[in-house]
Amino acid sequence: ASSVACLMLSGAVYAQDMTVGFSQIGSESGWRAAETTVTQQQAKERGIDLKFADAQQKQENQIKAVRGFIAQGVDAILIAPVVATGWDDVLTEAKDAEIPVVLLDRQIDAPDDLYLTAVTSDQVYEGKVAGEWLAKEVGDKDCKVVELQGTTGSSPAINRKKGFEEGIASNPKITIARSQTGDFTRTKGKEVMESFIKAEGGGKDICAVYAHNDDMAVGAIQAIKEAGLKPGTDIKVVSIDAVPDIFLAMEAGEANATVELTPNMAGPAFDALAKFKADGTAPPKWIQTESKLYTQADDPKAVYEAKKGLGY
């Protein structure tokens, strides 16, 4: 591993001469692409040499990449873990090689001494915020919801489902009629929404769609339009991420609400790593990012303009 020099500048820590391996999931969504861009920008700003590996949605590729980073003797490893289980062995290998690992945006089911920290949102809370918004919006009308889940076995799919169920629990008029994975992609989101529409009276029986990310919501909006219905009015649309495209849909009245997930997970991760390398200060095991609700009342056009350029 290269030598590590750290500079403390007005509160922020900059790690120079650090080589960091980054195992990214792939590019399934607009949010994911932005996270990759922002990670590269944050590394560049700090003079970090970032080794990037795209796993194309496969955990086996991630494990291979991490083993490669260990063999190269990198100073640290970032992993955005595609699924929550199956990480113990490779993380033990990184630990034995004394290479700190930071998890980005998704959590795992493994003992927390196998990684330095995890920079993620509270995904149960995200789902809960979406559910509570819908519970209030629906009031005392009967409402059949269809749910587009994220990648099966991933922490956001598990947690956003759980959180949403908690969020709607206060409103007995809401039921989840159908729930299926759309793999966090636009194409699959559209496809699954088409099948939901077919199964639910041509869409007339659906009151809302809850998508675990905005890309699937954008796909669903397309399917709703093609079925001759009005997204945002005939079928409410609530999702998670707050990518620029969902604000265009909100501006057009075709999406109703989204919960923001920052694509900047790497900034806090690099700061934590730099401090750890400099003086051994261990960060908390969880560095939580913010989750903010946006609705059509939040000037979607202005938010769209502000978001463009922030990695999107």
Instruction: Report the interface residues with ligand AHR, using CB under 6 A.
Output: 28-29, 31-32, 105-106, 156, 184, 213, 215, 240-241, 261
Kindly state the smallest distance separating residue 184's Cβ from ligand AHR, in Å: 4
156 versus 232: smaller Cβ distance to ligand AHR: 156
Closer residue to ligand AHR (CB): 28 or 254: 28
Question: Which single residue is written with the structure tokens 């591993």?
Answer: 1
At 131, phi and psi to the nearest 5? Answer: -65, -40
Between residues 150 and 203, which has the closer beta carbon with respect to ligand AHR?
150
C-beta closer to ligand AHR: residue 155 or 256: 155
**In angstroms, rounded to a whole number, what is the distance separating the alpha carbons of residues 133 and 148?**
17
By beta-carbon proximity to ligand AHR, the closer residue of 105 and 147 is 105
Shortest Å, Cβ 196 to ligand AHR? 20
CA 278/CA 103 separation, integer angstroms: 20
Smallest gap, in angstroms, from Cβ of residue 309 to ligand AHR? 19
- State which residue, 143 or 217, has the beta carbon closest to ligand AHR: 217
Max CA pair span of the chain:
64
Measured from the CB atom, the residue of 31 and 87 that comes closer to ligand AHR is: 31
CB of 1 to ligand AHR, least distance (A): 28
Q: How far is the CB of 312 from ligand AHR (least distance, A)?
A: 12
Establish how many alpha carbons lie within 13 A of residue 70's alpha carbon, considering only the half-sphere containing its beta carbon.
20
Residue 29 and residue 129: Cα distance in Å, rounded? 21
Amino acid at 291: S
Structure tokens at 252: 């057009």
Nearer to ligand AHR, 164 or 276 (CB): 164
Least CB distance from residue 4 to ligand AHR, whole Å?
Answer: 29
Tell me, what amino acid is at 214? D
Nearest to 30 by CA among 248, 265, 244, 290: 244
Q: Given CA atoms 130, 134, 136, 137 in this order, what sign does their dihedral have?
A: positive
The CB-side HSE value for 229 (13 A sphere, CA atoms) comes to 27
Helix (H) or strand (E) holding 208: strand 208-211
Task: Compute the least distance from the CB of residue 10 to ligand AHR, in Å.
Answer: 31
Return the amino acid letter for 280: G
Q: Minimum Å distance from CB 112 to ligand AHR?
A: 19
**Contact residues for 170 (Cβ-Cβ < 8 A; gap 6+):** 132, 135
Q: How far apart are CA 186 and CA 243, in angstroms?
A: 13
